[in-house]
Amino acid sequence: MSIQSLLQRRAQTERKLSQARAAKLEAENKLNRLQQAKAEIGELKAEMNQINQKVKTFEIPTSEWKGTTESDYQSGPKAKVETAVTNYVNHLEDNSSRIDEEISRLINQIETYTSQISSYNSTISLINYEIRNYKE
């Protein structure tokens, strides 16, 4: 193998190393954003569960009823609010599950990039060794 081909091989490997580092950094940034979103969804779910509990336990004193009966209120507006809040919490939980899946995928991807980076560094070290010990 000529010195020129060793230099070309090292340059190619250095480009691949640079690409793997950039891809790893991008994946790590995405992972951080998803972890922040997951935490915010968790806070929102807790807040919505508190609101749902307040709606379920909300009672109007009998002396306050004017025009609408309590049973109409329970089966109408109150039931709609409870359903809407429950649906929203379910939607948040679905999104949280999807985020968990994406987080797992990104963690695996980052591990792959880390492995590639290590491999490229080893290859570059070997090529450098070959270049130092090159004899025509």
Per the domain annotation, does 63 fall within a domain? Answer: no
User: Quick one: CA dihedral 120, 126, 131, 132, positive or negative?
Assistant: positive
pLDDT given at position 68: 67
Per the domain annotation, does 123 fall within a domain? Answer: yes
> What range does the domain containing 72 cover?
3-58+68-132
pLDDT in tens, 117-130: 999 999 999 999 99
Per the domain annotation, does 114 fall within a domain? Answer: yes
Average pLDDT, the chain: 91
- The proportion of the chain whose per-residue pLDDT surpasses 70, expressed as a percent, equals 96
Per the domain annotation, does 100 fall within a domain? Answer: yes
pLDDT in tens, 47-73: 998 988 888 888 777 777 676 677 777
Number of domains, the chain: 1
Per the domain annotation, does 122 fall within a domain? Answer: yes
Task: Report d(CA 96, CA 98) in Å as an integer.
Answer: 5
Task: Report d(CA 39, CA 35) in Å as an integer.
Answer: 6
Per the domain annotation, does 38 fall within a domain? Answer: yes
Per the domain annotation, does 79 fall within a domain? Answer: yes
